[in-house]
Chain A
Amino acid sequence: MNRNPNLQGYKGRVRELLLSAGVEVGDEVRVVRDGEVYEGVLAPRIEYGGEDFIVVKLRSGYNIGVRVSDGKVQVEKLPARREVRYKSPVIPEAKATLPSVAILGTGGTIASRVDYRTGAVTPIFSADDLYGFTPELAGIARIDVETVFNIFSEDMTPKHWSIIAYKIGEYVSKGIDGIIVTHGTDTMGYTAAALSFALRNLPVPVILVGAQRSPDRPSSDAALNLIGAVTAAAYAPFAEVVVAMHKGLSDDEVAFHRGTRVRKCHTSRRDAFKSINSDQVAVYRDYKIEMLTEDYRRRGEDGFRVEAEFEERVALIKFYPGFDPKIIEWYIDDGYRGLVIEGTGLGHVSSRCIPALKRAVDSGVFVGMTSQCLWGRINMSVYRTGRELQAVGVVPLEDMLPETALVKLMWVLARVDDVGEARRLMLTNIAGEIFRRTSFRWYA
Chain B
Amino acid sequence: MDSLEYEALGLKVGLELHFQLATRYKLFCRCPATLSEGEAKLRFERRLRPTQSELGEVDPAALFEFRKGLTIVYEADDRSTCLVELDEEPPHSINEEAVDIALTIALLLNARPVDEIHVMRKVVIDGSNTTGFQRTCVLALGGWIDLEGKRIGIQSICLEEDAARIVERRGDRVYYKLDRLGIPLVEVSTSPDIHSPSEAGSAALAIGKIVLSTGKVKSELGSIRQDVNISIRDGALVEVKGIQHLSLIPKVVENEVRRQVRLLELRDELRRRGLSKSSVDPTLYDVTDIFRQTRCKVVSRALESGGVVYALKLSGFRGLLSWLLNEGLRFGTELADYAVFWGRLGGIFHTDELPAYGISSSEVEALREAVGATDQDAIVIAAGSRDNVEDGLKAVAERVLIAFDGVPEETRRAEPTGVTRYMRPRPGAARMYPETDIPILVVDPRRIDHLRSNLPELPSIRVRKYVKEYGLSRKLAEELVASIYENLFEEVCRSFPSLPASVVASTLTETTTMLRRRGVPVDRVSTDRLYELFRFLAEGRMFKEAIPDILAHMAGKGVGVAEALEELGLKPLTDEELVEIVSEEVSRSGELIAKHRLNAVKIILGSIMKRYRGRVDASRLAKMIEDEVGRSIR
Q: Which residues of A contact B (CB under 8 A)?
A: 36, 43, 46, 48-50, 53, 55, 57-58, 60-67, 84-89, 113-116, 119, 121, 124, 129, 132-133, 213, 215-220, 223-224, 248-252, 267-270
Q: Is the CB of B89 within 8 A of A121?
A: no
With A87-B56, A249-B88, A250-B46 already in contact, the answer to whether A217 and B440 are too (CB < 8 A) is: no
Q: Which residues of B contact A (CB under 8 A)?
A: 42, 44-57, 83, 86-90, 112, 114-118, 120-123, 125, 130-133, 136-138, 141-142, 155-156, 158, 429-434, 436, 439-440, 442
Residues in B neighbouring A53, C-beta threshold 8 A? 115-116, 442
Candidates A66, A116, A129, A252; contact of B431 at CB < 8 Å: A116
Q: Is the CB of A60 within 8 A of B138?
A: yes
Roughly how many angstroms separate A286 CA and B522 CA in the complex, as a whole number?
A: 51
7 A-B pairs with the lowest CB-CB distances in the bound complex, closest first: A218-B132, A65-B116, A87-B56, A61-B432, A63-B118, A67-B115, A249-B44
Residues in B neighbouring A50, C-beta threshold 8 A? 442
Residues in A neighbouring B46, C-beta threshold 8 A? 219, 250-251
Q: Is the CB of B138 within 8 A of A62?
A: yes
CB distance from A415 to the nearest CB of B (A): 41
Residues in B neighbouring A66, C-beta threshold 8 A? 114-116
Residues in B neighbouring A116, C-beta threshold 8 A? 53-54, 431-433
Roughly how many angstroms separate A250 CA and B72 CA in the complex, as a whole number?
A: 10
Instruction: Pick the most buried of A89, A121, A217, A270: most chain B CB atoms within 10 A of its CB.
Output: A217
Roughly how many angstroms separate A11 CA and B413 CA in the complex, as a whole number?
A: 48
Q: Is the CB of B88 within 8 A of A133?
A: no
Q: Is the CB of A251 within 8 A of B45?
A: yes
Residues in B neighbouring A129, C-beta threshold 8 A? 52
Q: Can you name 10 extra interface pairs (CB under 8 A) apart from A61-B429, A215-B52, A218-B132?
A: A61-B122, A62-B136, A62-B137, A63-B118, A65-B118, A113-B53, A213-B87, A218-B131, A219-B48, A220-B51
Residues in B neighbouring A224, C-beta threshold 8 A? 47
Residues in A neighbouring B141, C-beta threshold 8 A? 64
Q: Is the CB of B156 within 8 A of A60?
A: yes
Candidates B44, B51, B155; contact of A248 at CB < 8 Å: B44
- A44's nearest neighbour on chain B, judged by CB, is B434
- A113's nearest neighbour on chain B, judged by CB, is B52
- 11 example contacts (A-B, Cβ-Cβ < 8 A) are as follows A55-B116, A58-B138, A60-B156, A62-B136, A63-B432, A65-B117, A67-B115, A133-B52, A249-B44, A250-B44, A269-B88
Q: Is the CB of A55 within 8 A of B118?
A: yes
CB distance from B61 to the nearest CB of A (A): 14
Residues in A neighbouring B440, C-beta threshold 8 A? 46, 49, 65
Roughly how many angstroms separate A249 CA and B440 CA in the complex, as a whole number?
A: 29
Q: Is the CB of B52 within 8 A of A218?
A: no
Roughly how many angstroms separate A287 CA and B156 CA in the complex, as a whole number?
A: 47
Roughly how many angstroms separate A324 CA and B123 CA in the complex, as a whole number?
A: 53
Roughly how many angstroms separate A49 CA and B440 CA in the complex, as a whole number?
A: 7
Candidates B44, B51, B117; contact of A218 at CB < 8 Å: B51
Roughly how many angstroms separate A34 CA and B480 CA in the complex, as a whole number?
A: 40
- B54's nearest neighbour on chain A, judged by CB, is A116
Instruction: Pick the most buried of B54, B57, B156, B434: most chain A CB atoms within 10 A of its CB.
Output: B434
Candidates A62, A88, A132, A252; contact of B120 at CB < 8 Å: A62
CB distance from A264 to the nearest CB of B (A): 14
Residues in A neighbouring B434, C-beta threshold 8 A? 43, 46, 63, 119
- B47's nearest neighbour on chain A, judged by CB, is A251
Roughly how many angstroms separate A219 CA and B50 CA in the complex, as a whole number?
A: 9
Residues in B neighbouring A219, C-beta threshold 8 A? 46, 48, 87, 130-132
- A133's nearest neighbour on chain B, judged by CB, is B52
Candidates B42, B51, B86, B116; contact of A216 at CB < 8 Å: B51
Residues in B neighbouring A133, C-beta threshold 8 A? 49, 51-52
Q: Is the CB of B156 within 8 A of A85?
A: no
Candidates A36, A46, A55, A60; contact of B430 at CB < 8 Å: A60
Q: Is the CB of A270 within 8 A of B88?
A: yes
Residues in A neighbouring B122, C-beta threshold 8 A? 61
Residues in A neighbouring B115, C-beta threshold 8 A? 53, 64-67
Residues in A neighbouring B88, C-beta threshold 8 A? 249, 268-270
- A130's nearest neighbour on chain B, judged by CB, is B52
Residues in A neighbouring B433, C-beta threshold 8 A? 114, 116, 119, 216
Instruction: Pick the most buried of B53, B55, B136, B141: most chain A CB atoms within 10 A of its CB.
Output: B53
- B43's nearest neighbour on chain A, judged by CB, is A250
With A116-B54, A116-B431, A216-B51 already in contact, the answer to whether A64 and B44 are too (CB < 8 A) is: no
Q: Is the CB of B51 within 8 A of A87?
A: no
Q: Is the CB of A87 within 8 A of B57?
A: yes
CB distance from B398 to the nearest CB of A (A): 22
CB distance from A354 to the nearest CB of B (A): 42
Residues in B neighbouring A115, C-beta threshold 8 A? 53
- A248's nearest neighbour on chain B, judged by CB, is B44
Residues in B neighbouring A270, C-beta threshold 8 A? 88
Residues in A neighbouring B56, C-beta threshold 8 A? 85-89
Q: Is the CB of A84 within 8 A of B52?
A: no
Q: Is the CB of A67 within 8 A of B45?
A: no
Q: Is the CB of B131 within 8 A of A217?
A: yes
- A66's nearest neighbour on chain B, judged by CB, is B115
Q: Is the CB of A268 within 8 A of B83?
A: yes
Residues in B neighbouring A267, C-beta threshold 8 A? 89
Instruction: Pick the most buried of A116, A124, A252: most chain B CB atoms within 10 A of its CB.
Output: A116
Roughly how many angstroms separate A43 CA and B440 CA in the complex, as a whole number?
A: 14
